[in-house]
């Protein structure tokens, strides 16, 4: 439930170097974005590219066919506060008037009571 609300309320995500919890939350948002389960795009900034490139080999995921090369566009690198702020401003401007993102609704028809 915590992760549902995390995804529902997020307007953007800046991911700083961290451990398992950080990886869990980052991959949750990236997976929901990748599979188009979010009603709109959430900008994701990976802060500290040197750390993240050592911890996660995104190129290997593409090479092994685990993700598509296009999935690398789901996040942006930043190694200083100004770059991160610029990325967030660019990613949020078109959506400034929209409410917090909602999880995409199922395309399955509602079940009728028996």
Q: Domain ranges for the chain, please list them.
A: 2-93
The pTM (predicted TM-score) of the whole model is: 0.77
- pLDDT given for residue 61 in this prediction: 97
Q: What is the pLDDT of residues 76-113, one digit of tens each?
A: 999 999 999 999 999 986 554 555 555 555 555 555 55
The H or E element that residue 93 is part of is: none
- pLDDT given for residue 19 in this prediction: 97
Q: 20 or 6: whose pLDDT is higher?
A: 20
Give the Cα separation of 85 and 80 in Å (integer): 9
- pLDDT given for residue 96 in this prediction: 47
- pLDDT given for residue 38 in this prediction: 86
Top-level class of domain 2-93: alpha beta
CA proximity to 11, closest of 99, 103, 105, 104: 99
- pLDDT given for residue 104 in this prediction: 56
**Sequence-distant (≥ 6) Cβ neighbours of residue 108 within 8 angstroms:** none
Q: What is the pLDDT of residues 28-80, one digit of tens each?
A: 999 999 999 888 889 999 999 999 999 999 999 999 999 999 999 999 999 99
């Amino acid at each position: 439930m915590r992760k549902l609300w995390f995804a529902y309320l997020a307007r953007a995500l800046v991911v700083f170097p961290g451990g398992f919890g950080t990886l869990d939350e980052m991959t949750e948002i990236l997976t929901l974005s990748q599979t188009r389960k979010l009603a709109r795009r959430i900008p994701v900034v990976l802060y500290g590219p040197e750390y993240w490139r050592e911890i996660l080999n995104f190129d290997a995921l593409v090479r092994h066919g685990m993700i598509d090369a296009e999935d690398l566009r789901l996040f942006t690198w930043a190694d200083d506060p100004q770059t991160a702020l610029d990325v967030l401003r660019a990613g949020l401007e078109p959506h400034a008037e929209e409410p917090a993102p909602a999880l995409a609704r199922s395309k399955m028809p509602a079940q009728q009571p028996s």
